[in-house]
Every structure is written in C-alpha cells, then in structure tokens.
Amino acid sequence: MVVEMPLSNADVVVVAVAAAVVLVAFLWVLLSRRATARRLAVLTARMGESDLQFGGRAGLETGLAKLERVVDSTVSVASEARSGKSLLEQALAAVPQGVVVGNDQGAVVFQNATAASLLSEVGSGSTARDAVQALLVSAADGKADSSSVKVDGPPPRTLRFQASPLHDEQRTLGGIVVIDDQSTIDRHESARREFVDNIGQELKRPVGALGLLAETLAAEKDPAVVARLSRRLQNEAQRVSRVVDDLMLLSRMDAEEHPAPEAVPVHLIVAQAAERVRAAAQDKDITVNFGEPPQRLTVMGDRRQLVAAVYNLLDNAVKYSPARSVVEVRGRQDGDWVDVSVRDQGMGIPEADLEHIFERFYRVEGARARHVGGTGLGLAIVRHVVGNHRGEVRVKSEEGQGSTFVVRLPAGPPLAAPAASAKAG
C-alpha cells in the first residue's frame, strides 16, 4: 500500500524554482545555439558559402564540418597568396632594371634593390625621386607616361622612367615605374661613334700616304730615293695591317677567351714585340732598351696574344714619348709570377683618365694626345689578353713624368736549356 504524503509549501517552492532553472537553461541553450548558428551563417556568407545550414543539432554539426573545410581552403589560399607575393618580390629583385610599385594614391609600396640604389645614390638627389613620384601619381590616375632625367655623378647617369597603371576588373589599383639606367648604352654609343671616327682617321692617313708614295715612286728615277720611298711605303702598309690585326685579334679573343696554355719564353715575347715597334721608334729616334730577360724564364699562355699585349704597351710608349727618349722593357720572376714592365718618359696620363684607359676605344683627351693617332684599342687588347691569362695589369703614371705599365702573368716551367734565338717578327 502506497501512502501519499502531501507536499508542504516549501517543497512546492523548491520544485517550482528547479523547474524554472531548467527552463531558463534550456531556453538559454536554445537561444545561444540559434545566435551561434546566425553568427556562423553570417561568417560563411561573407566567405561566399551562403548555402551552409546550421539549424538543429545535426545541422549545426554538418555546418561546422563544412565550415572547417572552408577555413582549411581559405588558409591554403592565404598561404599560396603569401608564397606568390614572396616569389613576385624575388622575381622583381632579380630584374636588372629598377622597379617601383605605388598604390592608388601614388604612394610607394614596393621597390626592388636596383631602384633603391639608383634613387639613393649620391648625385641623384631629389630629381629622380620626384620624377618617380610624379609618374606614380599619373599611373594611379590611369595614365601611362615616361620621362628621363640626367643626374650628376659620380658617376653621371641618364635614367629613363616608364610608368604604367595597374588595374583589376573594376578599378585602378596603382601603378608601376620601371627605371632603366641608360648610362652604359650611352657610353657604348659614344664609344662606337668615336671608334668609327678614330678608325677612319687611323686608316685615312696611311692609305693616303700609300697613294702619294706610290704616285711619287712611279715617277722617281733616283735609286736612293726609290729605296727610301719603298721603305716608307712598306711602313705605311704595315701600319694599316696592324690596325686590321688589332680588330681581328679582339674578335678572336672575344670568341675564345681561354687559350690553350703553353710555356712561352719571355725573351721571345719581348724580342718580337720590340721588333714590331722598331720602325715607329726609329722614326722618332727613340731607343727601345729591352735588357733581354733570362732565356729560361717562361709564362703560360698563347704566344700570339702575349706578343700583341707587350707590343701594344710598347707602341703606346713610343707614340706618347718625345723624340730621342728611351723606352725600357724588363722581365723578371717574382715567385709564381712573371712581371713584364714597360716604362716610358712620355707625357703621362691624367689621374682622372687612369680608370678608363683600358676601355675599348677610350682615348685620353688633350691636344698632345690627339695628334698621335690610334684607334683606342691598344690597352683594351692588353687588358683582354691579361684577363684571358688570369693575370693582372698595373699602371703608375704622372703627368709630365711618364708611365710604367706592369703585366703580371703566371710563371711557366723553366726551359731545360736556353732557347735558340728565334728570328723576330
């Protein structure tokens, strides 16, 4: 038998409170879930996934699983974007031109190292930076434009700027400016024009002399005069031949930078180079003192190129030395190296020109230098030959005090016995 006991008023209150708490908790969970579902729905809609449903427990679990996949995909896209940005920055850093990127307000947001260097160098000042800023603003307005600026050195430069706007499908995002340093191109073009002029002048004189000598020789009856004219004719012909040889030698060296090395006696190099310059030295009554190097001394390299290098040093020494002076050639060994030096008593080289004298077609300015002729190839050949033989060339010069050039080359094995004197030529 069950005995029912009536609830007291206190028990009723406790039960009511408990029921209220349970109801409130249930409503809070229900409302929180709905609020969470609404927030998740808004977030997924912002990510372009408006079809995800979060209603009910099953719907919430399914929606969350899909949301996880969306988040994973978004993280992957963001990672790829960061990787793409890094690759783009690396690619722009490798571009030889300067590159500056601006936003839709024309403010710089990126520049590669080349652009930073060109725009911050001493001498560029604010001129180049102002030009870039103006072009970025123009590009942000959707206009492509270009300009160029000449800036003082050192070294003096000509900078050319090309600006283009950057668009997406709806609007202009900003602009890009590409900076080209035209200085090297301008120098090469100037050197090319100077070379054409120099080579024309260098060939015009001997060719004109050949014609005049031939005409005089045809009408001359005196054997002594005929002999003298014949020698002059031969000298002028050799002068033309040497110009052509210089051009062909440079062409060959450009095509084959590292000759097959062999042990070449230094005294033969010096003797052959001195023989080639003998006629020009005699015309000015210049003594070429080549104190013959030890016959066992050798260098490793290509004989023709080495003779050409020493000859060009001697030729310059004779050209730029006063009449009745002395040009000295010496060869000596210094450990694993052989030094061949050429010293003259000529006009010397201005300090400002020393860093340029080995450039092709470069010639020292000034009245005293212009009258001696030359193509501007001699010292370029010297540097090229020395570079091909993994050596170095040094110069010490002072205006009015002459010049000394030293060619340093790797020493070869000493000859087993003194080499037989070879006929120079």
Residue 77 scores a pLDDT above 70: no
pLDDT at 419: 47
Is the Cβ–Cβ distance between 343 and 327 less than 8 Å?
A: yes
Is the Cβ–Cβ distance between 166 and 87 less than 8 Å?
A: no
pLDDT in tens, 167-211: 887 788 889 999 888 877 777 777 777 777 777 777 787 888 888
Return d(Cα 20, Cα 30) in angstroms, integer. Answer: 15
Residue 421 scores a pLDDT above 60: no
pLDDT at 337: 93
Top-confidence residue, 369 or 247 = 247
- Among 119-133, 295-309, 361-375, top mean pLDDT goes to 295-309
- Among 112-116, 251-255, 368-372, 382-386, top mean pLDDT goes to 382-386
Alpha-carbon torsion (335, 338, 344, 348), positive or negative: negative
pLDDT at 367: 37
Top-confidence residue, 191 or 40 = 191
Can you name the residues that pair with 162 across neighbouring β-strands? 146, 178
Rg (CA), the chain: 42
pLDDT in tens, 275-304: 989 988 998 999 998 776 677 889 988 898
- Among 78-87, 248-257, 326-335, top mean pLDDT goes to 326-335
Question: Residue 327's closest CA among 309, 315, 343, 305?
Answer: 343
Structure tokens at 154: 């050192």
Return d(Cα 197, Cα 377) in angstroms, integer. Answer: 13
Side chain identity at 329, as an amino acid letter?
A: V
Three-state DSSP string of the chain: CCCCCCCCHHHHHHHHHHHHHHHHHHHHHHHHHHHHHHHHHHHHHHCCCCCCCCCHHHHHHHHHHHHHHHHHHHHHHHHHHHHHHHHHHHHHHHCCCEEEEECCCCCEEEECHHHHHHHHCCCCHHHHHHHHHHHHHHHHCCCCEEEEEEECCCCCEEEEEEEEEEECCCCEEEEEEEEEECHHHHHHHHHHHHHHHHHHHHHHHHHHHHHHHHHHHHHCCCHHHHHHHHHHHHHHHHHHHHHHHHHHHHHHHHHCCCCCCEEEEHHHHHHHHHHHHHHHHHHCCCEEECCCCCCCCEEEECHHHHHHHHHHHHHHHHHCCCCCCEEEEEEEEECCEEEEEEECCCCCCCHHHCCCCCCCCCCCCCHHHHCCCCCCCHHHHHHHHHHHCCCEEEEEEECCCEEEEEEEEEECCCCCCCCCCCCCC
For 344-375, letters b (16+ CB in 10 Å) and e give bbbbbbeeebeeebbebbbbbeeeebeeebbb
| 164: exposed, middle or buried (Cβ count in 10 Å: 0-12, 13-18, 19+) | middle
Range with lowest mean pLDDT among 190-204, 233-247, 268-282, 346-360: 190-204
Top-confidence residue, 26 or 372 = 372
Beta strand pairing call for 145-151 and 157-167: antiparallel
Mean pLDDT for 389-418 is 88
pLDDT at 204: 81
Question: Residue 397's closest CA among 357, 337, 338, 340?
Answer: 357
Whole-structure pTM value:
0.51
Is the Cβ–Cβ distance between 270 and 276 less than 8 Å?
A: no
Residue 239 scores a pLDDT above 70: yes
Bond before 154 cis per omega within 30 degrees: yes
Top-confidence residue, 120 or 26 = 120
Can you name the residues that pair with 408 across neighbouring β-strands? 339, 392
260 phi/psi in degrees, rounded to 5: -65, 120
Can you name the residues that pair with 392 across neighbouring β-strands? 408
Range with lowest mean pLDDT among 122-136, 162-176, 233-247: 122-136
Residue 271 scores a pLDDT above 80: yes
Q: pLDDT grade, residue 122 (50/70/90)?
A: very low
Residue 424 scores a pLDDT above 50: no
Mean pLDDT for 33-42 is 62
pLDDT at 396: 93
Mean pLDDT for 321-334 is 91
What is the strand order of the sheet 172-181 is part of?
A: 108-111, 98-102, 172-181, 157-167, 145-151
pLDDT in tens, 217-231: 888 888 888 888 888
Please give the C-alpha separations between residue 375 and each of 50, 200, 319, 363, 388, in angstroms, as whole numbers. 78, 9, 12, 8, 22
Residue 57 scores a pLDDT above 60: no
Measured in whole angstroms, the distance separating CA 82 from the mean position of its chain's CA atoms is 31
